[in-house]
Amino acid sequence: MDNRLIYLDNNATTPTDPRVVDAMIPYFHQLHGNAASRNHPFGWAAEEAVDNARNQIADLISVDPREIIFTSGATESDNLALKGVYEMYSRKGNHIITLKTEHKAVLDSCKRIEKMGGEITYLDVNDKGLVNLEELEAAITDKTILVSIMFANNETGVIQPMKEIGDICAKKGVLFMSDATQAVGKIPVNPKELGIHLMAFTGHKMYGPKGVGVLFVNRKNPRVKVTAQIDGGGHERGMRSGTLNVPGIVGMGKACALAQAEMIDEAKRLSALRDKLETGLCQLEETYINGDVNNRMPHVTNISFKHVEGEGLMMTFNQNIGVSSGSACTSASLEPSYVLIALGLGDDLAHSSIRFSLGRFTTDEDIDLAIKQVSEGVTHMRDLSPIWEMYKEGVDLDAVQWSAH
């Protein structure tokens, strides 16, 4: 048996590209200055490195470098955008609209805003994971200040109709924010063209380091402002105080430059590998792909294996294959994925789902081995399952009265 490790959990985090690590190393030791130290060469070198990275990141998403605000990651960026807009625009209104399938960083920030007196509308999605545009437009009131909808879902890879959402927000005169963590660096993302005014993303989902993220904040038409959530020296145009993580920022800049050069070809390669994985695993009966297969990221698939408990299935192969059931932030919980429940999956299918997210270092051989081991795992689990046996005998499991004792 082949025991090498296979990493198919790139939506949780990506390995840092060695070229990114090489770019970062000098800023830990030789060029260790604080970018806010403006009166000596060490500080100047750090500031120049940060400015260069800001330009690289802005180039990737076609925005002005002054619209890039550095944070510790996408979670902080989401918090800053949501809470910062809520406080800044409180005179205009207190209503925010989002989706039930958003990342916890958005949902939990919205719950905090509710405690602060805000009103949040959590919209449903359809069985493909997509927002209903008519429902979105109908939900906007004269008190609505922000619509927050993620670009691509972290569990299913489903991409929302961003341009149409942006057009609705423009028509209604409300701000549009997006957590684009899973999209930036993997597919072309241009917030200006889509009508996005605030956009969160992070380094460690695009082969950069952990601990550095970005919030794009639109400067013109409209000029967007957010109230700082971390107070201190007034760094980052007064929106986010704190000594800048120079090595991390250099790494994120390099990661963005690499993504800009390579992501189109890489997306083609990964979508072919992803399709191969799906074709192999869908040879198993009662296997379902979750989410809209026509509007999704090229590197992600979320598959349910009916009557196989996902966590148990992972135990059969996860000594050497890294995948996830549910999203990384909640993978310690044994609740079924709230994203899949929102798509209308029953507990049985939601519990039996595995997310496979491929990446830059995934090979053809990795996919072959994953198909083999996952297929063997599913077959093994079903061989042990009395429920699978009943299903095979034609028993209508929905009609079975299960005893409580």
Least Cα distance to 303 among 294, 286, 290 occurs for 290
Q: Is 21 helix (H, G, I), strand (E, B) or coil?
A: helix
Q: In what helix (H) or strand (E) does residue 215 lie, and over which residues does it extend?
A: strand 213-217
Residues 6+ apart with CB under 8 A from 22: none
Strand partners, 304: 288, 353
- How far apart are alpha carbons 224 and 59 in whole angstroms? 20
> Are 152 and 29 spatial neighbours (Cβ–Cβ below 8 Å)?
no
Tokens 């390995």 found at: 15
Q: C-alpha angle with apex 129: 327 to 399, nearest 5 degrees?
A: 90
- Cβ(354)–Cβ(310) below 8 Å: yes
Distances (CA, A) of 399 to 45, 129, 268, 346, 394: 70, 28, 45, 15, 12
Per DSSP, the three-state class of 176 is strand
* Pairwise CA distance, residues 14 & 8, whole Å: 10
- Point out the catalytic residue in the list 169, 256, 282, 329: 329
Q: Is 169 a catalytic residue?
A: no
Cβ atoms of 218 and 21 within 8 Å: the answer is no
CB 275 within 8 A of CB 52: no
Rounded to whole angstroms, the Cα distance separating 259 from 297 reads 15
Catalytic residue numbers, as ranges: 329
